[in-house]
Structure 1
């Protein structure tokens, strides 16, 4: 039974796929462009995609292109490289083709395998199918004199069978008859999952599949793996992409498929703590970010209004109206307001708690105060949050993510220093150690 994570990378923010062969004079053009990406445009995991992104008639050439491009420029690529090969739970011939693709790409004589970290297996089925893929990995490693388990295996969850198989991983990994500890990422593939589930929506859009994303995140957590969401194909809808990532992050799924370098940039930054802190105010069903102005936080929308009367205040939210005195108004707004801490805020709080713990105190109160401005009326709010060891450990997750990024992506050091400042970066790398 698996007991701990086996891979150095603790987080993957971005899973970026690229066709391995396109119908142009230079069929490897897209691969050449991708392998030159650096900084925030470069993903944490690059996936030369020899399955869905590449026409079946060009997949043999796609294998050759992977070998050519990765053997030539892989040494300078800043991230992990995991080609996707063909596979299907119901097709022995397709599984054999995937095996042959892995065998060719991993041949040391071709010069690419030293820069390749693993392979991505699509369309897996039940747990026995996962074991078949794992056995092929082991054969490839033995055939080429590679260390067993050195090639990571990631799977795309695109069927109900695969979803149920995730619940069995914890029991299966670590058994002597398999090498499933090589597993690295669990990636959702909502398009084929929708087809497998025979789901229908009135507009033809994909269902949100929140349950699948939760189950994938849970399966990854239980087995010490990394969960990654599937593609968001409306590449111009940046706001929708951010909403999807925010929903995922609340489930513990910090990675997402990226289809363009622009999406890679957004997904690389989204899980990291913000550069500046901000106050949110609940207005009806949504929270809105307040505008900071001269040290105060101003609401400028139309769904909430505040009026001062002789006896107190009238607060209107949508169609609701509240008559409140000063204390009641402060309490109401405090209930509706929420602070989003910046990286510097998180580091400050953690340093303060570490100092208190060093002095023998097990819990301390952290104060957060602000002046809200609504229709020209200023209202001071303040709350105290108790920090104990559990709070500290929860706050450590975004810091651990940042530390993992900093350690594994030196090409992003300059970007991170520009986002947060050198001082904050240095302090963030020290807390928790």
Structure 2
């Protein structure tokens, strides 16, 4: 993985809010409200959205609102602030408007730029278009005497052109002719991407685009940036939002667009290790959490059944039936069972490995054991997993995420201590040091 070039190693939440509302006494009320978010309701990156979320006729006023709200409240906002400005790969007029807005937002006399961390550029095209946006920011930096490359630039991947451009960045970054090293976030925009691809689904909903999410995660990793998934617009479907994040996290995409403070809370907590460990059992249709009764984990569903008769076992999963001896049954259940470690479990394992490594041992076995009960029949399960340096480094990712959050979000310290306990928090901050 290429080294990150920005203070944040991880971004969990990308929260947009319209900059100007037509017909309201206070057209800035949405961004004024968002600027007051704190704790788990406050995103890692707040995006006053002066593009899609704001009507074209209100965008000049939107810039004025950003300046007013950010100059007043930006110093106290706990996350980073990256306004989304207008841009389009096929419209010189729109790009010119972008330059005018950037110059106004970045003018030190207006008082907002000292609290702004960067800008989000939508609708980018091929690599030459990314370089145009970068050049505009370089012009702004020179206009006001800022260091070149000091203003971060994030892009929204909304077209096949921009998806392909991610593969060309490694050849362009670092050249004297650009400041593309300012790039921060790669954010998927599946709605416009669907339009650009001319995709059709029977019900008219969005395709899932797993390939786009994989390519964005890969492009971000290859170029030292951070990948963020696009908006999940069914804001009442909390479980679906969680499932989407779980799928993304397996791709290395730990950030997601959030449309409401409620989604921000879900997205802020989802990538963090759970408070308590749990055992899951694959019932042939889903991963079902088992009921914890101390040393015994109990399956209470109806898709899996187990009977014992004369030393032989009959295991039924869905419509499949197997006749197994004790050893074969144990192997089968080990393949169906999975343990999800808590933060405390992860820290315990890392501390144990660090102690062994410091004593000169290169690899150690970590045992996980429990008793599984199905229909009153109990089976002892035990697995050994070898930990070496590579395993340790892979396990470090959720802890590094936690450490990054703790360092950059002091407003969440109380929430994290309440989740895990002060002792676990202190130990998690010490591992890997």
Report the TM-score when normalising by structure 2: 0.99
Tell me the residue number matched to 2:12.
Answer: 13
Distance of 1:377 and 1:29 partners within structure 2: 60
Q: Deviations over 1:207-245 (max 9, x none)?
A: 010000000000000000000000000001011001100
Distance of 2:128 and 2:214 partners within structure 1: 23
Distance of 1:258 and 1:102 partners within structure 2: 24
Tell me the residue number matched to 2:344.
Answer: 344
SS of equivalent to 2:315 = strand
Tell me the residue number matched to 1:87.
Answer: 87
Contact 2:2 2:221 in 1 (8 A): no
Counting only pairs closer than 5 Å after superposition, residues 226-265 of structure 1 correspond to structure 2 as 226-265=226-265
SS of equivalent to 2:234 = coil
Q: Deviations over 1:146-185 (max 9, x none)?
A: 1211110000000000000000111111100000000000
Contact 2:365 2:384 in 1 (8 A): yes
Q: Deviations over 1:292-339 (max 9, x none)?
A: 124321111111111121232111101111111222211111111111
Tell me the residue number matched to 2:313.
Answer: 313
Q: Deviations over 1:45-100 (max 9, x none)?
A: 00000000001111111000000000001100000000000000000000111111
Q: Deviations over 1:236-279 (max 9, x none)?
A: 10110011001100000000000000000000000001111011
Counting only pairs closer than 5 Å after superposition, residues 103-252 of structure 1 correspond to structure 2 as 103-252=103-252
SS of equivalent to 2:214 = helix
SS of equivalent to 2:310 = coil
Distance of 2:354 and 2:265 partners within structure 1: 33
- Range that drifts further, 277-286 or 35-44: 277-286
SS of equivalent to 2:51 = coil
- Range that drifts further, 330-339 or 210-219: 330-339
Tell me the residue number matched to 2:21.
Answer: 22
Instruction: Give the superposed CA RMSD.
Output: 1.0
SS of equivalent to 2:8 = coil
Tell me the residue number matched to 2:299.
Answer: 299
Tell me the residue number matched to 1:101.
Answer: 101
Tell me the residue number matched to 2:375.
Answer: 375
Shift of 1:3: 5.8
Distance of 1:225 and 1:115 partners within structure 2: 21
Contact 2:122 2:156 in 1 (8 A): yes
Distance of 1:16 and 1:100 partners within structure 2: 24
Distance of 2:63 and 2:296 partners within structure 1: 58
Q: Deviations over 1:367-416 (max 9, x none)?
A: 00011111122111000000000000000011110000000000000000
Q: How many pairs are equivalent?
A: 432
Tell me the residue number matched to 1:388.
Answer: 388
Report the TM-score when normalising by structure 1: 0.99
Distance of 1:306 and 1:38 partners within structure 2: 50
Tell me the residue number matched to 2:75.
Answer: 75
Contact 2:311 2:326 in 1 (8 A): no
